């Protein structure tokens, strides 16, 4: 037994008097710089992986508008179609693709990378959401312009997209991130993302007057609806800016709430 | 003086936890247990019973050492590491890293250690350069500082030439090296590396180990290395904990572990077609051999080994023999001697 030192035998005393003073911790990444770093990294992914999908998102919306041209007869319905199609690009990218991204990241252990860095959860979620919302800018603008030309709508107030994209982007990206992070399996995240997008398509693009009561109620629950309505209102020659602001306000509030839920979901997914 | 394998089996369960600290202790693990609950089978899928992924593990990792966790896939290495890095909550037990209770404050782990996991999907679509820089920024470095460290690390690892390429488009070994680079940006006193050299060529491996050695010499960096590669374990580790089914079945220096089977010789026989069992000496050897295909692996005393080699290199047996080797024991032999199931360990 000589290879076994006495102190390792069962029953020997444990070193109880060791109370080492804790070492100094490394710095914590601050919210804004970390958010910017995540945003920049996520944005750069677009070059590698996202561009084909952005084309798909845009063509899908333009295709829908072309189809709807034979159905709607100008006026309020045309405005709803153009506004809905433009916001649909946001739903496709921010909701659907972000849900898939986070679902995948969570399933294959990619979240471990962020979870072992001293970065605030909000930075990761907001950075990714902001990047995905940014991906939608070209597609949304192109869709809106093409739509205005197709349905002979005024281009004068298209600048309102500068407000619509961020608030609708926040609401839908938050929802997408939360779905992706909460779904127990990546396929489910994909499914939920697709369903969310389909909802945005049906409830956003189809003119509300033609929808049954129940569906109209569902439409009111979907955050993107308020972005669509705000945008549609601005095709008026003299838009009611108070209503536009109120709609955007609802969208922004939902955005804050859904991003908060997504941040909570990230925290929950990071430590299992 | 030398003792058969049995005696240290008695003590190793307790050895790591009861070890008296010598030098600074960086990471102290006691009675760490994690059980994956049983899952009831659904629609024809069989039930899977509860698994004790870590089973009363105790470890003590000292400053500046390269400490290894060795075991085949499924031995519980990664589960253990996830608990040490704050990624997974243990059911019971304690983890203390540099005086911080990581079980109670898992978020502190990120400020003490750098972790290189097996998955790189978070970095895959970034360029090598941006992956390193972003990781540094998220480790709390100022932008300028992060860029400077990024450049230094990429240069050190020989990645400067491919800094602008997306990690996804690199070969497996280069991808691993790029992720290792990201792990090094933003200095940490403890590096936790989960199979860092998988798929790497010898040059990349050398870059990894010299980067580790430099940080050890200059900053006293401690390394916790997960590996299933016995050759790597023997060459780079200062001490190694051998894991089997969630338990530490031995913990010592590689030399110390090999000492335990030093009285033995590893004999490997490869038969051309099938073993000549009609030769009585061969028939006797069979009962002691671990067979895998045409290869027999035997651990024998020096005298027995000599006799066995004599038997198989003469007469009928030799005609059936394709190849044979005699070797001093490796950590794989230690693993077998400790009762582990060494299938899944890699020698490369």
The DSSP secondary-structure symbol of B96 reads: E
Residue A14 has pLDDT above 60, yes or no: no
Alpha carbons B307 and A208: distance in angstroms, whole number: 92
String of DSSP letters for chain A: -TTS-GGGSTTPPP--S--PPPPPPPPPPPHHHHHHHHHHHHHHHIIIIIHHHHHHHHHHHHHHHHHHHTT--SHHHHHHHHHHHHHHHHIIIIIIIHHHHHHHHHHTTTHHHHHTS---HHHHHHHHHHHHHHHHHHHHHHHHHHHHHHTT---TTGGGHHHHHHHHHHHHHHHHHHHHHH-SSHHHHHHHHHHHHHHHHHHHHS-GGGS-HHHHHHHHHSHHHHHHHHHHHTTSSS--HHHHHHHHHHHHHHHHHHHHHHHHHHHHHH--
CA distance A231 to chain B (A): 34
Question: Average pLDDT of A129-143?
Answer: 91
User: Which pair of structure tokens corresponds to residue B139?
Assistant: 């480790």
Stretch 27-46 of chain A: residues touching chain B, C-beta under 8 Å: 27-30, 33-34, 37-38, 40-41, 44-45
Adjacent-strand bridge partners of B242? B70, B250
According to DSSP, residue B216 is labeled H
Which pLDDT score is estimated for A26? 84
Count of CB atoms situated within 10 Å of the CB of A218: 15
CA quadruple B315, B316, B322, B325: dihedral positive or negative? negative
Q: Say whether A37 and B111 touch across the interface (CB within 8 A).
A: no
Residue B333: per-residue pLDDT: 80
Q: How many CB atoms lie within 10 A of CB B343?
A: 10
Residue-wise pLDDT for A141-188, tens only, equals 999 999 999 988 888 888 999 999 999 999 999 999 999 999 988 899
Q: In chain A, positions 107-146, which contact chain B (CB-CB < 8 Å)?
A: 108-119, 123
* pLDDT tens sequence across B245-255: 899 988 999 88
DSSP 3-state of B292: strand
Contacts of A80 (CB under 8 A, 6+ apart): A72, A205, A206, A207, A208, A228, A232
3-class secondary structure, B219: helix
Cβ–Cβ contact A9 with B under 8 A? yes
Measured between CA atoms, the residue of chain B closest to residue A46 is B125
Q: Tell me the average pLDDT of chain B.
A: 85
Q: Please provide residue B265's backbone torsions phi and psi, each rounded to the nearest 5 degrees.
A: -120, 140
Percentage with pLDDT > 70 across chain A: 90
The whole-number pLDDT of residue B264 equals 83
CB B58 within 8 Å of CB B248: yes
Tell me if B87 sits within 8 A of A270, measured CB to CB. yes
Helix (H) or strand (E) holding B148: helix B143-156
Tell me which chain A residue has its CA closest to the CA of residue B88: A272
Query: What is the per-residue pLDDT for B104?
Result: 92
Q: Does A198 touch chain B (CB under 8 A)?
A: no
- pLDDT tens-digit map of A257-272: 999 999 999 988 887 6
Q: Report pLDDT digits (tens) over B147-169.
A: 999 999 999 999 999 999 999 99
User: Residue B240 forms beta bridges with which residues?
Assistant: B68, B252
| Interface contact A108-B109, CB threshold 8 A | no
Residues paired with residue B239 on neighbouring β-strands, in sequence order: B67
Strand-pair partners of B250: B242
Supply the angle between the helices A31-45 and B128-138 in degrees, to the nearest 10: 160
| Secondary structure of residue B159 in the 3-state scheme | coil
What was the ipTM of the complex prediction? 0.82
- B105-139: buried (b, 16+ CB within 10 Å) or exposed (e) per residue? ebbbbbbbbbbbbbbbbbbbbbbbbbbbbbbbbbb
Please give the Cα distance from A180 to A96 (Å, whole number): 9
Instruction: Examine the pLDDT at A93 and tell me if it is beyond 70.
Output: yes
At A2 the pLDDT is 42
Select the more confidently predicted residue: B284 or B340. Answer: B284
Cα A265 off chain centre by: 14
Whether residue B285 is predicted with pLDDT greater than 90 in this model: the reply is no
* CB-based contact, A267 to chain B, within 8 Å: no
- Mean pLDDT, rounded, for B177-190: 94
- As a whole number, mean pLDDT of residues A80-102 equals 91
pLDDT greater than 90 at residue A9: no
Distance of CA A160 to the CA centre of its chain: 20
Picking from B78, B88, B121, B226 by the largest number of A CB atoms within 10 A of its own CB, the best residue to mutate is B121
Asked whether the predicted pLDDT for residue A4 surpasses 60, the reply is no
- Report strand pairing: B290-292 vs B113-116: unpaired
- Paired tokens of A28: 């914590």
DSSP 8-state symbol, B21: P
**Tokens representing residue B313 in the block:** 């290199």
Q: What are phi and psi of A82, to 5 degrees?
A: -65, -45
Residue of B nearest to A10 (CA): B14
The pLDDT tens digits for B216-239 are 999 999 999 998 888 888 889 999
Tokens at B138, concatenated: 């998220």
Q: Mind listing the pLDDT tens digit for each residue in A146-155? A: 999 998 888 8
**Which of A4, A34, A118 shows the shortest C-beta gap to B111?**
A118
The residues facing B267 across adjacent strands are: B298, B326
Give domain limits for chain A.
49-270
| Distance separating alpha carbons of residues B282 and A113, to the nearest angstrom | 53
- Which pLDDT band holds residue B347 (cuts at 50, 70, 90)? low
pLDDT digits over A45-78, tens only?
Answer: 877 667 788 888 899 899 999 988 888 877 778 8
Say what the pTM is: 0.82
Residues of B in contact with A266 (CB under 8 A): none
What one-character DSSP code corresponds to residue B127?
B
Question: Across the interface, do A112 and B117 touch by the CB < 8 Å criterion?
Answer: yes
* CA distances in angstroms from B236 to B39, B68, B243, listed in the order given: 39, 9, 18
Sheet holding B25-36, edge to edge: B51-62, B25-36, B92-97, B100-101
Question: Which residue from B110, B105, B106, B89 is spatially nearest to A123, judged by alpha carbons?
Answer: B110
């Amino acid at each position: 037994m000589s290879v076994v030192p006495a102190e390792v035998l069962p029953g020997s005393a444990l070193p109880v008097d060791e109370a080492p003073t804790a070492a100094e911790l490394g710095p914590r990444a601050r919210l804004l710089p970390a958010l910017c770093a995540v945003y920049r990294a996520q944005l750069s992914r677009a070059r590698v992986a996202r561009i084909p999908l952005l084309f798909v998102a845009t063509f899908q919306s333009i295709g829908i508008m072309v189809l709807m041209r034979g159905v709607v007869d100008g006026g309020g319905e045309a405005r709803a179609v153009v506004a809905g199609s433009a916001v649909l690009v946001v739903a496709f990218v921010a909701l659907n693709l972000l849900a898939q991204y986070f679902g995948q990241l969570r399933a294959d252990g990619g979240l471990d990378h962020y979870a072992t860095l001293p970065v605030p959860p909000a930075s990761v979620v907001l950075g990714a959401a902001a990047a995905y919302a940014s991906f939608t800018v070209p597609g949304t603008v192109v869709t809106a312009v093409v739509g205005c030309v197709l349905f002979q709508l005024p281009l004068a107030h298209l600048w309102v997209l500068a407000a619509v994209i961020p608030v609708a982007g926040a609401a839908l990206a938050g929802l997408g991130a939360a779905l992706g992070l909460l779904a127990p399996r990546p396929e489910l995240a994909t499914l939920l993302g697709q369903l969310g997008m389909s909802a945005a398509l049906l409830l956003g693009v189809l003119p509300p007057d033609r929808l049954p009561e129940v569906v109209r109620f569902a439409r009111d629950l979907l955050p993107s609806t308020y972005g669509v309505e705000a945008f549609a209102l601005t095709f008026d020659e003299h838009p009611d800016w108070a209503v536009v602001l109120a709609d955007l306000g609802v969208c922004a509030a939902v955005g804050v709430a859904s991003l908060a839920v997504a941040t909570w979901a990230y925290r929950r997914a990071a430590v299992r | 003086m030398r003792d058969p394998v049995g005696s240290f089996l008695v003590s190793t369960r307790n050895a790591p936890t009861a070890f008296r600290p010598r030098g600074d202790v960086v990471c102290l693990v006691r009675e760490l247990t994690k059980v994956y609950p049983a899952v009831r089978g659904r629609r024809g899928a069989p039930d899977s019973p509860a698994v004790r992924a870590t089973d009363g593990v105790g470890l003590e990792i000292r400053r500046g050492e390269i400490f290894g966790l060795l075991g085949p896939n499924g031995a519980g290495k990664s589960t253990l590491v996830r608990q040490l890095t704050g990624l997974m909550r243990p059911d019971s037990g304690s983890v203390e890293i540099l005086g911080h209770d990581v079980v109670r404050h898992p978020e502190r782990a990120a400020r003490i250690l750098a972790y290189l996991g097996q998955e790189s999907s978070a970095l895959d679509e970034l360029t090598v350069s941006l992956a390193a820089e972003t990781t540094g920024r998220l480790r709390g470095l100022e932008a300028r500082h992060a860029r400077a460290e990024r450049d230094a690390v990429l240069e050190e690892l020989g990645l400067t030439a491919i800094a602008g390429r997306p990690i996804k488009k690199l070969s497996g070994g280069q991808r691993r090296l790029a992720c290792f680079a990201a792990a090094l940006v933003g200095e940490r006193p403890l590096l936790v590396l989960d199979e860092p050299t998988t798929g790497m060529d010898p040059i990349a491996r050398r870059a990894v180990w010299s980067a580790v050695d430099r940080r050890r010499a200059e900053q006293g960096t401690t390394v916790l290395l997960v590996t299933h590669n016995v050759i790597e374990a023997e060459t780079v580790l200062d001490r190694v904990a051998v894991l089997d089914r969630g338990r530490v079945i031995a913990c010592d220096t590689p030399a110390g572990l090999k000492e335990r089977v030093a009285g033995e010789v590893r004999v490997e026989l490869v038969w051309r077609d099938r073993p000549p069992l009609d030769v009585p000496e061969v028939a006797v050897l069979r009962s002691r051999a671990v067979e895998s295909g045409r290869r027999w692996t035997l651990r024998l005393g020096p005298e027995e080994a000599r006799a066995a080699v004599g038997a198989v290199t003469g007469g009928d047996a030799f005609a059936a023999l394709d190849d044979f080797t005699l070797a001093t024991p490796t950590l794989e032999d230690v693993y077998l001697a400790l009762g582990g199931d060494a299938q899944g360990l890699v020698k490369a």
